[in-house]
Amino acid sequence: MSVDLIRLTALQCVADLECMEGPELAWMRSGEALDRVLSGSGWSIAMDRLGEDFAVRPRPAAAGRSGGRHASATTKAPVIPFAAAIDHSWFSVVPSASTAASVARLWREIWRYNAVNAVSAAEEGLATRLPRLMAAVRGIDLDQRLEPRVCARSAALMEAMGQGDGAAVYDILQAWCVDPPESWATQQMLTESIAHHGWEQELLAEVRGTRVKNVKPLALFPLLETDLTPLHDAAMQALALIGAVDPEMHAEITAHVSLIKLFSGAGVEGFSSPKAFGAIWLRLPEPGQEIAWFLEHLVHECSHLHLNALLALDPLLVNPQEIHQAPIRPDPRPLFQVLHGTFVLWRNCRVHRRLVEQFPELGLQDGLAEFEEQLARGTEVIATRMRPTDRGRLLLQSF
């Protein structure tokens, strides 16, 4: 999905809603501050994407209605804050500890920029000052990873304003106002069930509502009273093994991932979302396959997060919606999702080659062979079909 398409759809939704009446839309009169939220940065663009496994599609504009104060904005290129801080060396498939740290730090800076503008827009629209919340957002420690729920709160606030849902704006702000700021950053990596927190509900509903051709409806269930300690230990053992063979990939995982959400069900193995950056959702592994499962999916989902962070800085390709054969899924997918799949496969091949060489007793040979076959399909598609931006070309050349 192209950057311009997502931005256009967001702006068109606002223009459509302006034609409606009712006090619940009073916040819409926030004017310039809302413009900044919707069009000010790559974050507000990227938050509408899930990883390669799923893509949230923008809501179509209402038929026969256009115009409004945002109509002319559709011709403008999106503005990326902090553009001078972007380093061309970041645009590589090869994991790097220094790149991961820099990209993660800039991602958090862009998050704060958008969160400040979102709260400002809400203040203007509701005619209510929120000095404590604003001070907490401005003062957040950007040298630490953000809790995924904090990212989810700002994403939900922007989405509620974009939908004209005044009641939701109030509710989201209330939950954020009572969320202790000292808990917004974390250095931990936790493992827990899905549906553990209220901020997950909208994202879970999106995934459960996703329909994939020739695939049964997706089923994701929480784990209730299941003791997750052994699974957390297995995830940490897998992370240690990654660190033993690929310290750069290990550093990227620890830079981005702070929460592993587990579920039972069918139809999906895992996913992640920029809306709750730092969290990854994984299906329970089969008994006896825990280490192999976490080895694959820690690399896989972290790589989605990292590429989404890069996509917040640059669209990478100018033909993201062209449909081509995907390397992992059986159905053809938009090209930006093919890029996502190929990106994560390259990294899993790199890590698993080293694991097979240094720890053959793990029995990962068959998995590596499958990754290499899928990677060959993906690299052929992106090499021949992807029309990259300048930074996208750097990424493509690194494969």
Mean pLDDT of all residues in 32-38: 45
On the question of pLDDT at 57 being above 90, the answer is no
Tell me the C-alpha to C-alpha distance, in Å, between residue 258 and each of 113, 191, 216.
22, 9, 31
On the question of pLDDT at 123 being above 80, the answer is yes
Mean pLDDT check: name the lowest of 65-69, 148-152, 177-181, 248-252.
65-69
pLDDT of residue 210: 85
On the question of pLDDT at 11 being above 80, the answer is no
pLDDT of residue 23: 28
- pLDDT tens digits along 174-218: 999 999 999 999 999 999 999 999 999 989 999 998 877 777 788
pLDDT of residue 81: 62
Euclidean distance between CA atoms 40 and 117, whole angstroms: 9
- pLDDT tens digits along 163-181: 889 999 999 999 999 999 9
3-state secondary structure the chain: CCHHHHHHHHHHHHHHHCCCCCHHHHHHHHCHHHHHHHHCCHHHHHCCCCCCCCCCCCCCCCCCCCCCCCHHHHHCCCCCCCHHHCCHHHCCCCCCHHHHHHHHHHHHHHHHHHHHHHHHHHHHHHCCCCHHHHHHHHCCCCCCEECHHHHHHHHHHHHHHHHCCHHHHHHHHHHHHCCCHHHCEECCCEEEECCCCHHHHHHHHHHHCCCCCCCCCCEEECCCCCCCHHHHHHHHHHHHHHHHHCHHHHHHHHHHCCEEEEEEEECCCEEECHHHCCEEEEECCCCCCHHHHHHHHHHHHHHHHHHHHHHHHCCCECCCCCEECCCCCCCCEEHHHHHHHHHHHHHHHHHHHHHHHHCHHHCCHHHHHHHHHHHHHHHHHHHHHCCECHHHHHHHHCC
pLDDT of residue 176: 98
On the question of pLDDT at 60 being above 50, the answer is no
Comparing CA positions, the residue from 256, 259, 236 lying closest to residue 99 is 256
Comparing CA positions, the residue from 52, 76, 57 lying closest to residue 1 is 57
Mean pLDDT check: name the lowest of 51-65, 131-145, 203-217, 311-325.
51-65
Average pLDDT, the chain: 82
| Max avg pLDDT among 7-16, 50-59, 269-278 | 269-278
On the question of pLDDT at 46 being above 50, the answer is no
Buried b vs exposed e over 281-307: b needs ≥16 C-beta within 10 Å? bbbbbeeeebbbbbbbbbbbbbbbbbb
- The better pLDDT of the pair 63, 313 is held by 313
Burial classification of residue 178, based on how many CB atoms lie within 10 Å of its CB (0-12 exposed, 13-18 middle, 19 or more buried): exposed
Give residue 44's pLDDT band: very low, low, confident or very high (50, 70, 90). Answer: very low
Euclidean distance between CA atoms 193 and 225, whole angstroms: 9
Amino acid, res. 167: A
pLDDT of residue 80: 56
pTM, two decimal places: 0.82
pLDDT of residue 82: 74
Mean pLDDT of all residues in 333-355: 97
On the question of pLDDT at 18 being above 70, the answer is no
Q: And the tokens for 295? A: 């080895």
Beta bridge partners of 259: 190, 279
On the question of pLDDT at 255 being above 50, the answer is yes
Mean pLDDT of all residues in 47-67: 32
pLDDT of residue 284: 97
Euclidean distance between CA atoms 67 and 70, whole angstroms: 7
User: Residue 6 contacts by C-beta under 8 Å, 6 or more apart in sequence?
Assistant: 45, 48, 49, 58
On the question of pLDDT at 144 being above 80, the answer is yes
- The better pLDDT of the pair 393, 9 is held by 393
